[in-house]
Amino acid sequence: MDILNAPNGLVMALMPIVLLGQPVEAQSQRPLMFVLRQCNENAVELRLDPGPFRDSIGPGFSLALAEGKARVVILVHDCSQLWIDGRDVGPTQELRVWVSIRGLDDVRPVVGAERTPPTGTWFTLLEGSSNPRVREAKLAAGIAETVIDSVFLDPPGPQGGGRVYLGGNLAFSWRVPSPAAPSARLVGLNQDVYRRDSSGSVVLNRIQAVVHVSADPSPGTLEVGRVGTLPLIGPGSYPVSVRMFFPMWSRATLGLSPAR
């Protein structure tokens, strides 16, 4: 069966949430939120000095360093469809900034994927959305999201890149001169993403996705235009590695209580 041409209901049925690995409490004291989305995505990864990020994530978590550097990923989504708790909230554009932390690195099966790497574990530094209905729903669940003006992702081709606008200005952009050919087309991804809610409590968001890979990790350049645009990332040029997914389908359970 061709997953790319499957009806939306069938696509989502191929991606059950698998609550394996890191233990979570059977009963969360906060209401859970369930999110389904279909998006195009660029994942822009850079390596930075770990000191500020250790301070940001606080005690109880350890950075997963790569060659002594913090792994920071900027996820940019252009979503054609998004549902929250079964309610269609329309298209949206999203921004996520995560830093890699130590986790289980277990492998959880993803239906429909040709291969699935070990689970990634992250701590959230920033979330944003262009859709006010999404921001309102998230705020009601204790998740404050930044207002995103717009994002633009280059379609698959001989070059790649994109740009994000915040506060009426170009906030940052990235270019990939020569995207790398994918080694597999349909890849499963599992992400355990920790964050602090509006009360300061740490919660766990568990995400599972099937992605159609347009480009494997490819070298590029990130240009950040203004101070304060991205958390702990100052203005300037940065070497980055970019993955491109056109499209990705994901399903998430938000607001789980991490086991202690």
Query: What is the DSSP track for 161-197?
Result: EEEEEETTEEEEEEEESSPBPPS-SEEEEEEEEEEE-
The answer to whether 175 and 161 have CB atoms below 8 angstroms apart is yes
State the pLDDT at residue 20.
36
Question: How is residue 174 written in tokens?
Answer: 């990235």
The pLDDT score that the predictor gives to residue 157 is 96
Cβ within 8 Å of residue 58, ≥6 positions away: none
Residue 25: both structure tokens together = 């409490």
Q: Are 173 and 223 contacting, i.e. CB atoms less than 8 angstroms apart?
A: yes
Is residue 227 pLDDT above 80, yes or no?
Answer: no
What percent of the chain is modeled with pLDDT above 70?
88
d(CA 13, CA 49): 41
The yes-or-no verdict on residue 7 having pLDDT over 60 is no
Structure confidence at residue 259 (pLDDT)? 62
Q: Count the residues in the chain.
A: 260
Question: pTM for this structure?
Answer: 0.90
Is residue 126 over pLDDT 90?
A: yes
Nearest Cα to Cα of residue 176 among 164, 162, 160, 163: 160
At 208, is the pLDDT very low, low, confident or very high (cuts 50, 70, 90)? Answer: very high
Looking at residue 27, what is its pLDDT?
41
Tokens of 8: 């939306």
Cβ contact 98:72 at 8 Å: yes
Which residue ranges form the domains of the chain, and what is each CATH number? 3-15+28-254 (2.40.400)
Flag whether pLDDT at 243 surpasses 60: yes
> Both tokens of residue 239?
């070497």
What pLDDT, on a 0 to 100 scale, did the predictor assign at position 30?
A: 65
Interval 158-187 mean pLDDT = 96
Alpha carbon dihedral 11, 12, 14, 19, in 10-degree steps, equals 160
Q: What is the pLDDT of residues 36-85, one digit of tens each?
A: 999 999 999 999 999 999 999 988 999 999 999 999 999 999 999 999 99
Which residues are CB-neighbours of 148 under 8 A, at least 6 positions away? Answer: 93, 94, 95, 128, 129, 130, 164, 165, 166
